[in-house]
Amino acid sequence: MFTTGLSHGARVLPDHLTATAGEKVILPASPFLVITWNFVNTSGINNNIIVSSSANNNTNAAYADRITLFKSTGSLELRDLTVRDNGEYSYLAQIYRYGMFCLFVFLVDGPENRHFTTSPSQEYIAQGSDLDLSCVADSKPSAEISWFVNGNLQSYTGPQYTLQNIQMSDSGSYSCQAFNGKTLRSATSGWNFYIQYIIFIDAISHSVKFNCANVLLCFWVLCLIRGSMAALRSQSVTESSSVKETPL
């Protein structure tokens, strides 16, 4: 018999199952003399999970902290599921004078392994530039991506969020939420960015206009500007005094 859906109770795996990331399943078997559990992932790569007999166990190091083999039944418990555990699980058991083979298939849902990226990637962004935000997560089925600005939900949904001609008012906290409608689980990642100061120096009137998102940064910039303006005025005076009249 084949059944599908989220598992419940003791998390015992039937022939087909959809499990949830972060949880555990128990793969049932039968009493054995020697049993081998095997896994084939979605890329077709084959791995032995464990080979066990009455004498010893040979466990794949990648599973050492995530599995428990119940020798009384041959069942295998697999914990901390991730989407990388999607695939086919099978066991071959030697039971007295004959062998037994069984195959299980299950999928693991997310979301997990969230990736939040920005382009450009620096914390301070120049005013007037464009900013691309990207948010992805491993999930089956695909997660719905929602965006928040300073904690406020935006109407736009999707893995890409673009800001054009950024202004000072766009500074703040940006975050994305990945939601899996099947497992009803969500995961959030975020990033803060600020609009970088822009300085305009008028060489004729020696006036300065600038925008700045950080008070300490503004103070530092003002100090630099004062020194630059003083040097500019001094240079202008020097150049004026060095001009000599040439007699006709």
Q: Above pLDDT 90, what percent of the chain?
A: 1
pLDDT band at 69 (very low <50, low <70, confident <90, very high): confident
**Residue 230 above 60 pLDDT?**
no
**Residue 244 above 50 pLDDT?**
no
For position 124, what pLDDT does the model report? 64
**Residue 206 above 50 pLDDT?**
no
- Residues paired with residue 121 on neighbouring β-strands, in sequence order: none
- Residues paired with residue 38 on neighbouring β-strands, in sequence order: 48, 90
Q: What counts of helices (H) and strands (E) characterise the chain?
A: 1, 19
For position 73, what pLDDT does the model report? 80
Distance CA 130, CA 198 (A): 15
pLDDT band at 121 (very low <50, low <70, confident <90, very high): low
pLDDT band at 112 (very low <50, low <70, confident <90, very high): low
Q: Mean per-residue pLDDT for 160-188?
A: 81
Q: Mean per-residue pLDDT for 108-124?
A: 65
Q: Give the tens place of pLDDT for each residue, 135-169.
A: 888 777 778 888 888 888 988 888 888 888 878 77
Q: Give the tens place of pLDDT for each residue, 88-98.
A: 888 888 876 56
Q: What value does the mean pLDDT of the chain take?
A: 68
pTM over 0.85: no
Name the least confident of 24-28, 53-57, 76-80, 104-108.
104-108
For position 10, what pLDDT does the model report? 40
**Residue 49 above 80 pLDDT?**
yes
For position 202, what pLDDT does the model report? 41
Q: Give the tens place of pLDDT for each residue, 32-46.
A: 788 889 898 878 888
**Residue 12 above 70 pLDDT?**
no
Q: Where are the beta strands (DSSP E) in the chain?
A: 16-20, 25-27, 34-41, 46-53, 57-59, 67-70, 75-78, 87-95, 98-109, 112-119, 124-126, 131-138, 144-149, 152-157, 160-163, 172-180, 185-196, 198-201, 208-211
Give me the domains of the chain, ranges plus CATH numbers. Answer: 16-109 (2.60.40.10), 112-196 (2.60.40.10), 199-239 (no CATH)
Per-range mean pLDDT, top range of 62-71, 131-140, 191-200: 62-71
**Residue 187 above 70 pLDDT?**
yes
Q: Above pLDDT 70, what percent of the chain?
A: 53
